[in-house]
Amino acid sequence: MRNFSVLSDLDFESVVSDLIAGEVGTHVERFARGADGGIDLRWRLPGGQLAIAQCKHYFKSSFSQLLASAKDEVSKVKKQAPGEYRFYTSFDLTVSQKQKIYELFSSWMSGPELVYGGRDIDGELTRNGEVERRHIKLWLSTGTELFWATNSELASRSSMLRTRLERTLNTYIEGDSYEESMKILDEHNVCLIAGVPGIGKSALAQMLVASYLALGYQPIEVSEDIKEAWAALDTKHSQIFFYDDFLGQISFSERMGKNEDSRLANFIDAVGGMKHKKLVMTTREYILRDARRDYRRLVDLGDDLHFILELDDYSRLDRAQILYSHLWHADVSVECLAELSDGGWKRIVDHSGYNPRLIEYCTGPSFDSSSKGYLDRFVDILTHPEELWRNAYERHLIDSQKALLLTLASMPVQASHPDLQAAYLSFCSESHLHANAASFRSSLEMLEMTFISIAKRGAEVMVSFHSPSVAEFILDQIREDPATLSSLIASVVFFEQLTALRNATGEDSSFSTSASSGVVRHMPINLFGDEFTEALMGTFESPSPVKILNQSGYVTGYEDPYGLFENRLEAVLGLEPELRPPNTWIESRLVFLADRWKNLQGEKSDAIRLYRKVSKLQKDRSISVSEEVLAEFHETLESWLSSSLEGTSDWSAFVDFNSFEDVDDIDDDIRDQFLDHALSELDAWDPSPPDLNDLVELAELFDVYPSIEESVAEAHQREEEHDAKQEDDSHATRYPRSRMSETGGDIDEMFNRFKASES
């Protein structure tokens, strides 16, 4: 009999639904548990009456438990009064057991043959092979079991591989990555799967191996050296070779002995030319990049053999099904499972730190899955997955590569290549590390796709952390090491590096985490007050590492963002008093900004906010600047705001600064000037000005709205027509999905099966 244990309850229902649909030739409806009233599946009989079926996936349970559950369904079925009722279970029923269930539902069954046990379903699948093939886990489980049964010698030699394959089959969810990697393997006979630790490389590779086992291929697992594969190569048999972590788990030096790269490359060439040979390899992407630099033949591994597995390859539905499948097969208490129903699952599935390895860990025997608070514990692991990265960081990366990551942690979320290089070289110099442009490029290449991501935006290359969990891990390294933090402060090239370090290491940091000791640790920037303050003053007028982007998101230049210096001074004034520069320096920055405003440079809304901050701190005696400087600061800002009223945002800033409370406070000339502006804006934009709502609010304040009301109505009409056309165009290119919805409704129904009230 087929191994139904690889199926979840949802999988089992889906198999039964397809079997019934194939038999009756009509659509079979499926329903969520809890709202079904005794219905899992429903369809129409030829006479028009409704038929319903119940599915009980009870492979873990005793018959007494199954019978008790069946008795609970009787009252529900009585209310439905179906024309036909069927009962399906994966339990292997005896004749007497089937009779007992039939007696419960005999009023709606023509005979005990409508009670389907595991062997009955097994027979139906044998007669309907296309149904089994649609359910990949069941098909692979059947195929691999048949292979092991008919190849006992191989089963004995490959017992560990067999165990891993069976475990993976239980929880694996087929997604696009499986199809794409299978296509590579089919076309080229070789597939190299690379990705970050824990992303699911080995599980995907094992599914590929299982797929070919089901086709009769003999598995050859390579554990130490490619010489094992050469020794096992047999031209008489179909074979699939599996080389997990072929470059080592920590470093390629573990495995890449003398001439190993040539032997591996030669084996790949050989397999690529053989019809019935397949090779599946996995590695961590950063190790592959490192090895390619030192081993010439590895460069020859073409990109057409290369499948990069990334978190983006998992859709929201994929993530939810992976989680559900692990929970279904795990020993998790019903109380803990209930915490994931009613939307609790979203905290895991939508978490930025979602990772298949962490899902496996949090549903495994080493994790507390029996006591209250399971969901919170689960989310904590996703939020702080430091151990996922620690091994690779501490044991594999060299100091210059670590330096690049430490530097990146002080930069904007996306740092430009030249800015990051400048900051990196400065940090290496301060840390007495030898570094140059070549080592910077080398480090980027090795870290890409694991610790960092590199993307081109227009003509500019931008660098960022591969995921939030990596960024957090690197920040933890900074928090826990005073020497590193001190060197970063002393080496900063950009003012924003200091604010990033302050935000990430202060005691009010939103990034604060629990270290391995279990105690929340901080590395307050206050410990380096003098160094920090000196760096602030030295970088205040530095260029900004934040790039100006156009509407397409591409870098358009290196100009400073609007409000750069206003925001920088506001950040300085927001620091603790012991970190602020002297009052004389603050005065000099006020003069510096006033000179810029005279030249119409800056961002008005930021300038107003800064002015109010300065005024408050002066009033509270938190800072002390001369009254002359403060008066000049005010007068310059007032003049700038009133003398450059060109756009609606200029008018909003003017009103904000003057705090008009009544229309009588506004000069008639100013009111007329605004009316001219409003009419001009409404006439110039199609379908409407981008800040139409602001324009209307200002018109009401200036008491000129009646003069523009008709034009505003026309603008709203054009907006509605424009939006309707865009919506029509959107629907015209939308394709229907055949899978479950990813919006949450169908997924909610899936996880609501875990409510404690359900058996």
- Residues contacting 404, CB < 8 A, separation 6+: 420, 424, 440, 443, 444, 447, 452
For residue 404, which of 381, 419, 418, 423 has the smallest C-alpha distance?
423
Top-tier CATH class for 388-539 = mainly alpha
Contact assessment for residue 501 and residue 406, using Cβ atoms and an 8 Å cutoff: no
The residue ranges of the chain whose pLDDT is under 70 are 32-38, 59, 153, 155-160, 224, 248-260, 293-297, 299-308, 310-312, 387-388, 449, 456-459, 468-469, 506-526, 547-559, 661-663, 719, 722-745, 756-759
CA–CA gap between residue 441 and residue 14 (Å, rounded): 51
Element at 219 (helix H, strand E): strand 218-221
Instruction: Give CA separation, 283 vs 201, 205, 260, 449, 662, in Å.
Output: 8, 11, 16, 12, 69
Scan for tokens 């000339």, then name that residue.
Answer: 669
CA–CA gap between residue 233 and residue 235 (Å, rounded): 7
How does pLDDT run across 699-757, given as a tens digit for each residue?
Answer: 999 999 999 999 999 888 876 775 455 344 333 332 233 344 455 567 887 888 887 44
Predicted pLDDT of residue 732:
33
Assigned token pair, 301: 């591994």
How does DSSP assign 516-530, residue by residue?
TTSSEE---GGGGHH
CA–CA gap between residue 702 and residue 496 (Å, rounded): 40
CA–CA gap between residue 178 and residue 207 (Å, rounded): 8
Is 136-312 in CATH node 3.40.50? yes
Which amino acid makes up residue 350? D
- Residues contacting 605, CB < 8 A, separation 6+: 563, 649, 652, 653, 656
- Beta-carbon neighbour count of residue 366 at 10 Å? 7
Predicted pLDDT of residue 470:
81
How does pLDDT run across 641-694, given as a tens digit for each residue?
Answer: 999 999 998 999 999 998 876 667 788 899 999 999 999 999 988 777 877 888
Assigned token pair, 712: 């505003």
Q: How far is CA 490 from the centre of its chain?
A: 34
- Residues contacting 444, CB < 8 A, separation 6+: 404, 452, 454, 463
Which amino acid makes up residue 698? L
For the chain, the first-to-last Cα distance in angstroms comes to 26
- Map out the domains of the chain as residue ranges: 4-132, 136-312, 314-383, 388-539, 562-644, 664-732
Residue 129, Cβ density class (10 Å: 0-12 exposed, 13-18 middle, ≥19 buried): exposed
Instruction: Give CA separation, 599 vs 224, 560, 634, 638, 640, in Å.
Output: 70, 15, 15, 13, 9
Q: What is the CATH topology of the domain spanning 4-132?
A: Trna Endonuclease; Chain: A, domain 1 (3.40.1350)
Assigned token pair, 496: 């924003």
Predicted pLDDT of residue 278:
93
